[in-house]
Amino acid sequence: MSSDATPLAGQRQSRREIVALQLLVGLFLALRLYFDLTANLFGDEAYYWMWGLRPGLSYFDHPPLNAWLLHLVSLLTGWAPIGPRLLTWLTLAGVLAIFANWTRRLAPGEPALWFWRSAAIYLASPMFFGMTMIAYNDHLLVALCLLAIHCFAVFVDRTETGAAGSIRWLYLAAAVLGLAVLSKYNGVFVGLGFAATLALRRHLRPLLRTPHPWLAALLGLAMQTPVIWWNATQRLASFRYHLDDRWGGHAGQINWMNPVNFLLLTVILWSPFLIWPAIRLARAKLTTGFENGARTLTLATLVISTLSFLAISVPLGAYFYWNIVAFVGLMPMLTKFTGKWLRLAHYAFGLFCAALIVCNFAVTPVGPLVGIRDPGSSINYGWSEVATHVRAAEATAPTDLVAATRYSTTSQLGFALGIGNAAKLSPEHSQYDYWQADAPLAGKSAMILVDENDDSPVMAFLREHFATLSEVDKFTVTRFGRDLYKWRLFRGEEWRP
């Protein structure tokens, strides 16, 4: 009787854990939904929405795929606040579908338990929860990179086991990777992981003497034609921006704290509780061919991407989320190597961070509650109030243009007003400069949303370019009785280029 009871007890325990994990995943999803329904669009989210209203071959800041998809979303939803973030739910569904496929390959005996563990581990990583919840290009990059990794891992497994049809998976991986790079340039590091895997695995090296890997690489490169053509016709503007202009003359100035900060933030926001499982994965003796090939690919991508950004961070600085592709392929593989207490610690850490992120951007900024000024969070509040003040000022004395002084605030103001033609008036270079070149501003009046001080370079810029500039309104956005952000409205007459 005891021999029969043990498996039965194990099944009951697994069912209890699955239910608990489903509730945990549901809680993460509820936090995401609350954020979507209550948080104003971030500056870059609204900026990309404006891209979607003007489909182009490419854009100053990023490749075009996310903008193309947002254009389709805008046709379906109009200016509904949920519109820009709708795609994040579709890409999340895609990620979880790939997780389900991998759990059937890696844990055929307990696919349900392993799937829910993998989903919870993924959502509990602050990096993946935060960066894929916000409608930046990253959510699309993550989903497409994971799909490309999946296709390449299937190719490796089929090639090494002699299964038929392996080559088509190589071309499919290249095509999907091409889409990933059309989302964000750092998808190229997954391609470098593909190349390293071909060189590192003995059974794959002979393929390098065939045309297939090279033709697959050409396919991925050919998919970048819109970006290459746009840059060729715009004096390499996007490439120059990322390689030089964005650093503001600081390139080449060595700062050894940059890589330290980059590494610390990467570890903390990926999750410190996943470091040991990743080490165990690297050291383990794996039993299945699919898992073995996927490990080579994911670890190669991790090492190449992380070392590259560490090197870049020394003279230039690097943001932790640029390295998100380093961890994409690892996420569905870590369940096997994450013990009970590490999983629980990771879940608790991730839930705390997720709640903090949502509270900070959808309820009230956390910094001011503890005496820390946080304008980067505070600026995302009160945009309906901002729109009300702008409409009131325009009703009193209409102008030719509604404008702001940064690409981000111009986009947020445009979205709040439901208009796609708000103007960006400042020396800051952005996609707005290309749009506004097609619609000259000379001689026009403008209602300008300003958050800069009177002695700022931006205010000097406005005074230089308008015949007259006068303040017509000022107001403060508050939350729960606390002042969050101060705005002013200026009326400018007769813009002079």
The pLDDT score that the predictor gives to residue 80 is: 86
Domain boundary among 303, 335, 363: 363
Residue 210 lies in a domain: yes
> Would you state the pLDDT for residue 342?
96
pLDDT of residue 380: 96
Q: What is the pLDDT of residues 102-138, one digit of tens each?
A: 999 999 989 999 999 999 999 999 999 999 999 999 9
What is the predicted pLDDT for the residue at 248? 58
Structure tokens at 289: 């061919």
Q: Whole-angstrom Cα distance, residue 125 to residue 138?
A: 15
Do 209 and 128 share a structural domain? yes
154 and 247 belong to one structural domain: yes
3-state secondary structure the chain: CHHHHHHHHHHHHHHHHHHHHHHHHHHHHHHHHHHHHHCCCCHHHHHHHHHHHCCCCCCCCCCCHHHHHHHHHHHHHCCCCCHHHHHHHHHHHHHHHHHHHHHHHHCCCCHHHHHHHHHHHHHCCHHHHHHHHCCCCHHHHHHHHHHHHHHHHHHHHHHHHCCCCHHHHHHHHHHHHHHHHCCCHHHHHHHHHHHHHHHHCCCCHHHHHCCHHHHHHHHHHHCCHHHHHHHHHCCCHHHHHHHCHHHCCCCCCCCCHHHHHHHHHHHHHHCHHHHHHHHHHHHCCCCCHHHHHHHHHHHHHHHHHHHHHHHHHCCCCCCHHHHCHHHHCCHHHCHHHCCHHHHHHHHHHHHHHHHHHHHHHHHCCHHHHCCCCCHHHHCCCCHHHHHHHHHHHHHHCCCCEEEECCHHHHHHHHHHHCCCCCEECCCCCCHHHHHHHCCCCCCCCEEEEECCCCCCHHHHHHHHHEEEEEEEEEEEEEECCEEEEEEEEEEEEEECC
* Residues 355, 383 within the same domain: no
Q: Among the three residues 314, 333, 363, which one is the final residue of a domain in this structure?
A: 363
Whether 372 is covered by a domain: the verdict is no
Last residue of a domain, one of 340, 363, 386: 363
pLDDT value, residue 1 = 41
Q: Is residue 2's pLDDT more than 50?
A: no
User: Is residue 64 located within the same domain as residue 177?
Assistant: yes
Judge if 258 and 177 occupy the same domain: yes
Q: Which domain holds residue 424?
A: 378-495
User: 219 and 92 in one domain?
Assistant: yes
Mean pLDDT within 331-358: 96
* CATH number assigned to the domain comprising residue 435: 3.40.47
476 in a structural domain: yes
Closest CA to 119 of 132, 130, 103, 136: 103
Identify whether the C-beta of residue 104 lies closer than 8 Å to the C-beta of residue 57: no
Lowest mean pLDDT among 144-148, 258-262, 277-281: 258-262
Q: For the chain, give the percent of residues with pLDDT over 90.
A: 85
Residues 278 and 386 occupy one common structural domain: no
Asked if residue 114 belongs to a domain, the reply is yes
What pLDDT is stored for residue 372 in this prediction? Answer: 86
Q: What is the pLDDT of residue 314?
A: 87
Give the pLDDT score at 32.
97
User: Does pLDDT of 177 surpass 60?
Assistant: yes
Residue 373 resides in a domain? no
The total number of structural domains that make up the chain: 2
Looking at the fold, whether 350 and 400 belong to one and the same domain comes out as: no
Confidence of residue 11 (pLDDT cuts 50, 70, 90): confident
Q: Are 309 and 262 in contact (CB under 8 A)?
A: yes
350 has a pLDDT exceeding 60: yes
Q: Are residues 223 and 133 in the same domain?
A: yes
User: pLDDT of 31-65, one tens digit each?
Assistant: 999 999 999 999 999 999 999 999 999 999 999 99
pLDDT at residue 245 tops 80:
no
Task: Clarify whether residues 437 and 359 are in a common domain.
Answer: no
My answer on whether 426 and 301 are in the same domain is no
Distance CA 375, CA 484 (A): 8
Query: Do residues 150 and 294 share a domain?
Result: yes
Would residue 416 count as lying in a domain? yes
Per-residue pLDDT for 368 more than 60? yes
Q: CB–CB of 123/27 below 8 Å?
A: no
Q: Is residue 6 part of a domain?
A: no
Residue 237 covered by a domain: yes
